[in-house]
Every structure is written in C-alpha cells, then in structure tokens.
Amino acid sequence: MGSPVKDVSIPENAPKTLLLQKHCDYIAAYGSKKDEYEYCMTEYLRMSGIYWGLTVMDLMGQLDKMNKQEVLDFVHQCQHECGGVGASIGHDPHLLYTLSAVQIVTLYDAQDTLDVEKLVQFVKDLQQEDGSFVGDKWGEVDTRFSFCAVACLALLGRLNEVNIDKAVDFILSCMNFDGGFGCRPGSESHSGQIYCCLGMLSIVGRLHHVNADMLGWWLCERQLPSGGLNGRPEKLPDVCYSWWVLASLKIIGKIHWIDKEKLVRFILACQDEETGGFADRPGDVVDPFHTLFGITGLSLLGEQILKPVNPVFCMPEETIRKAGIKLELLT
C-alpha cells in the first residue's frame, strides 16, 4: 500500500541538450531590466543575485559580458561603516551578503574594492561564546552563517582571525542521527545545511569528524526515479538540490553513489527553451538562482563545455586555485 513517492515526470519534449548561449543571453539581459517588477522585488538579495549571475557567466566562459566597473562600484557602496555588506544600497549588513560580496571581488580579483580590515572585524565580532556565528547584530544563529564566516575569511586569507576549534565544535553539535546537519543543535538534517557544514569542515580541514558512509547513504537517497534530487526525505526534486547534494557528495568523496546520467537528464529538462535559464523543476518559471545551480550541477557532473566548479565555494576552480586556497576533500 504505502504512500506514493513524491516526484515529477519529465515531459517527452523537454530539452535534452545544454542551451548554453540562451543561458548567457538570459543572465546578461537580467541585469538590464532594472525597472522591472521582478528585479525590484528581489532587491533584498541583490548582492547574492549578482554573485549568482557572475559565477554562472564565468563558468560558461562569458564573464566579459558583465559590467565589471558597475558591479564593483555597487559592491563598494553596499559596505557599511561596521565592515559588513548589505544586499543592496541602504539595506542592512548581513553575513549572507558579505560572503556574496567577497566572492564577487575575488572573482574579479579586486579585493581592494572592500575595506578588508573592517570586514574581517565584522565577521570576527559575529562569533559567539559557543563557537556559532550570528548573521548580524540581531542574533539569529544558523550553521549557514558558520559557513559564510569561514568562507569569507578563507577567501581573504584570514582564517586565523576566529576560533576555529570552537566553530567546529558548534558545527558538530548540529550533527544528527542520519549523519547530516541542521540549522542549530536539535534541528533536522537538510541538504542545504549539510552543504554548509561540510564546506565549513572542508575549509578548516576537519572532515574526519563526518561519518561519510552514513551521510553518503542519506545524500544519495535524495535521488528520485525522475533522476532529480530532493533536499530532504519525501520532498519533491529541485535543481538547486542537485547542487547542495551533489557538492556535498563530492566533498565526502561519494559523488559516484548517484546515477549521473539520470540527474543530467533531469537538470537539462529544467531549461526553458524560449527564455533561457533553468527552473526548479521542468515546466516552472526560470530564475538566476536555479540557473546557477543547474550549470554548477552539470559542471560537477563533468560537462566539458563548462569550467570546472569548486564544490565548496561554488566558484570556478581556477579562481580558488589562484587565490591559493587549500581544501580538504575526502576520497
């Protein structure tokens, strides 16, 4: 009897090849529609939006289509006196957007756009007594913020500025019976959260704390008959989870535990032939967020036309290498 498996079916006429140029055009055009409703309504995450757009363009080899000076001017204007960066001009500083800003200036090899000393101090001040990080002065704690803090500092070469041992202890206090991680101690495992915790442990070289076999099992069970991956048991598949889950599997050396061909088919089916871009599921409306994670997923799965993506920073591998960052990955 049992409950039916939650999944989607892929329509016969869904795209089966990578529509590279359409995606480039879609992303390039997105930023030029600044007066449009959709664009204005997402102002509260603009900094991340720009990072998504630039990263996906770079992976597709077309970063030069983006307006570098305009972007860097914008990033500069979003940094506050306290050192933190807001999502947009006039929006409050937060770790999420601070990481996006650091990723952007690293992509452009222009870290001097930001006041790095102040930024490091901002990140440092957000670490709590128990090793956790709050996202901003209002005190929300989340393992996502631990990743943001450590990733920021690693990109700036300043990891030694925070208490790594305590930061690791906090991450480990969020580990669950299934080997995964949640937002806070006691929270249920979630693929996005697992990615952040593994990424954090990878940056600081402490992946041996992870039970890779158990977690790998939970992660590879995210694949559904359609080929797509979901974020938690009994949920629908979604292109962004093809990234969170796949990158996590890559970090713990188990990417071969999923069916690559089926996942590629699912990701390709989420493209929109008319507009370019990827949606969360076949037939849904596209957006830059899922476009990035569609492309990064394909890159991790070995699509040759794309630049290799780094599984921890979600940036081109060559950028991370140039920055001289060493990561731990399990084999």
Partner 1 sequence: MHGRIKVKTTAEQQETKRKEREKKLKLYNAATGKIFDKRKNKEFDDDLLALTGEVLAQNSDLYTLWNIRKETFLHMKEIKTKEEMEKICNEELYFLESCLKGNPKSYGTWHHRCFVLDNMANPDWKRELQLCNIFLEYDERNFHCWDYRRLVVKRSKVPIEEELEFTTNKIHSNFSNFSSWHYRSKLLPLIYPDPTNPVGVKEEILLKEFEAVQNAFFTDPDDQSAWFYHRWLLGRGRKKMVISCLYASRPQNRVIVSTSQPVLVGSNHQMEVYLKDVSIEGSWSNVAGNGSPYSRLWISFKFCLTG
Could you list the residues that contact partner 1 (CB under 8 A)? 1-3, 5, 37, 40-41, 44-45, 86-87, 90-92, 94, 136, 138, 140, 142, 176-178, 182-184, 186-190, 205-206, 208, 214, 217-218, 221, 232-236, 238, 272, 279-281, 283-285, 287, 289-290, 326, 328
28 to 67, contacts with Zn ion by CB under 5 A?
A: none
- Our CB check for partner 1 shows the closer of 62 and 187 to be 187
Residue 311: contacted member of partner 1, Zn ion, none (CB under 5 to 8 Å, by partner type)? none
Are 236 and 6 a contacting pair, CB within 8 Å?
yes
Are 301 and 289 a contacting pair, CB within 8 Å?
no
Name the one residue in this structure whose structure tokens are 């001289």. 324
- The DSSP element (H or E) to which 30 belongs, if any, is helix 20-30
Residue selected from 238, 272, 287, 303 as contacting Zn ion according to rule CB under 5 A: 238
For residues 313 and 80, give the distance between their C-alpha atoms in angstroms, rounded to a whole number.
Answer: 24
- Our CB check for partner 1 shows the closer of 91 and 260 to be 91
The three-state secondary structure class of 327 is coil
DSSP annotation of 277 reads S
DSSP annotation of 162 reads S
- Our CB check for Zn ion shows the closer of 132 and 230 to be 230
Residue number of the CB atom closest to Zn ion: 240
**Nearest approach, Cβ of 91 to Zn ion (angstroms)?**
23
Q: What residues does 141 pair with on adjacent strands?
A: 134
Residue 115: contacted member of partner 1, Zn ion, none (CB under 5 to 8 Å, by partner type)? none
Residue 94: contacted member of partner 1, Zn ion, none (CB under 5 to 8 Å, by partner type)? partner 1
Residue 34: contacted member of partner 1, Zn ion, none (CB under 5 to 8 Å, by partner type)? none
For residues 275 and 201, give the distance between their C-alpha atoms in angstroms, rounded to a whole number.
Answer: 38
Give whole-number Cα distances, 229 to 13, 296, 302, in Å.
Answer: 21, 14, 17
Q: How many CB atoms lie within 10 A of CB 9?
A: 10
Q: Based on the shown chain and the rule CB under 5 A, indicate whether residue 240 belongs to the binding site for Zn ion.
A: yes
| Residues of this chain that bind Zn ion (CB under 5 A) | 238, 240, 280
